Amino acid sequence: MRLSVAKKIATLLASLVLTGLATDRVSTAQLPLPNPVLVFTGQEFFQSSGKQRIRYRFTVDNSSAYPNELFAAAPDLPPCGSNTKASRTWVDLYDQGGKRLYGFCAFGSSNDLSQMWFALDADVIPPSWIYIELTDRKTNTKYKSNLAETTM
């Protein structure tokens, strides 16, 4: 049996509508977040307690991929020392061997990922490479970065 052009168009439109309805009911679950892309941004010499020190600064190149809600205050989660309003996500810096160098537990937004650093006495040789881990304490999810050099 031959379908007329009008019936073919009506069948095609009905199929498109049904497909649209079917896909409208598909879960809108969040896609997993990417791993952070860590980049060295420079060194800063400073003095602390009479000692010459060097601050090694880093940024996360894809920080805009992380929603600010990850860095909201989370008083319902364990505190960071005496800070009872520490953020939901903590950021830790590690040398290439896994030794923790420093951490941040009170970032307020993903923009703060551009202000990470660790400091060493000026006479201490820094690790050649470091990485960071973002730990979402609400979901117990970790995001590990690439290795980034500590010099330009």
pLDDT in tens, the chain (152 residues): 555 665 655 555 555 555 555 544 444 456 789 999 999 999 999 999 999 999 999 999 999 999 999 999 999 999 999 988 899 999 999 999 999 999 999 999 999 999 999 999 999 999 999 999 999 999 999 999 999 999 97
CATH 2.60.40 for domain 38-149: yes
Token output for 67: 């929603």
CA gap 18, 108 in Å, rounded: 44
Contact between 126 and 150 (Cβ < 8 Å) = yes
What was the pLDDT predicted at 32?
A: 87
Token output for 30: 């969040």
Token output for 152: 């330009």
Beta strands 141-144 and 38-48 are unpaired
pTM: 0.79
What was the pLDDT predicted at 84?
A: 86
What was the pLDDT predicted at 152?
A: 79
Cα–Cα nearest to 45, from 114, 149, 126, 122: 122
What was the pLDDT predicted at 27?
A: 45
